[in-house]
Amino acid sequence: MTKPAVIRHLQYATLPNGTRLHYASAGERGKPLVLFVHGFPEFWYEWEAQLAEFGKTHFAVAPDLRGFNLSSKPAQVEAYRPRHIVEDLVQFINALGYSHCVVVAHDWGGAICWNLAIQFPQMVERLVIINSPHPYVFAKALTSDPQQQAASAYMNWLREPGSEQALAADGFAKLEGFLNGQGKQPAPWFTGETREKYHAAWSQPGAGGSHPLTGGVNYYRASPMHPPGPGETPPDISRLDPAAFTVRVPTLVVWGERDTALPKSLLDGLDKFIPDMRLERIPDGTHWVIHEQPERINLLIRSALP
């Protein structure tokens, strides 16, 4: 068994659009690039086990998305519209010296990277998505599926003013609740040094004195994807062309089926949008399956590499 690759962080890339992304990496630049893209409320460290594994054979890189940890944290909600985050990733890949790569993404990172693969298929050699719904499937579910609307009600709470202060109160109690499934006990993986690292990331100051968590929460505020609130009419998606959401790159979808916010019903009909798709279900995995079963996730990612 080869030793885990050494992980280097405190590296930065300043992009042509002005965004400064912090990133961690493992392996040698020049080897094939594997890009790992985190979700909310995480940061590059979500992928620690993956960097250590894939740095042995690839140049493995995990950035902090804008709004998180040590990357730029613009204060304006509009700065977090998906097109801007996609642009960050396109420019980041180029800044690393690459024209294409394998992309592995989870949660909000997945939401961004579905769009990346749809809009820039030439840049995505393979796509691995872990518990992140396809944009058209999710939009349809938020519009018409009462189960999904109820499961996603938290999104509307996060969009409200002051949600970041509520998340940070009492030592980030509510934010920790996201990671332990609202259980009374901490998730087994979220203890000790890992918990300390997350608290440190959640405490990094925002731009212009804004709250440290505002950037991450602004992903929800900037997105058109959310369930209708009380008395609201569901958004009209009839003008959306399903064909415009076709993913034309080989794709592995991994799904922890005990995800309470993103039920496995979101997998129904997914193959209509992805001609070259493989689906791996993990019945005992939650939304945080990357942390719960890192070795299994690594084997699945490895099986998807070209």
Residues 114-118: contacts with CB within 8 Å, 24+ apart?
A: 114/247, 115/82, 115/83, 115/86, 116/86, 116/89, 116/90, 117/247, 117/248, 117/249, 117/251, 118/244, 118/245, 118/246, 118/247, 118/248
Beta bridge partners of 128: 104, 252
Asked whether the beta carbons of 25 and 93 are under 8 A apart, the reply is: no
Look at the chain and count its residues: 306
Return the exposure string of 290-299: e unless at least 16 CB atoms fall within 10 Å of the residue's CB, then b. bbbbbeebbe
**Are residues 43 and 69 in contact, defined by beta-carbon separation less than 8 angstroms?**
yes
CA distance 208 to 166: 20
Q: Which helix H or strand E contains 125, and what residues bound it?
A: strand 124-130
DSSP element (H, E) containing 130: strand 124-130
Neighbours of 97 (CB within 10 A): 10
Residues catalogued as catalytic:
107, 220, 287
Q: What is the DSSP string of 183-198?
A: -SSPPTTSSHHHHHHH
In angstroms, the CA 108 to CA 86 distance is 12
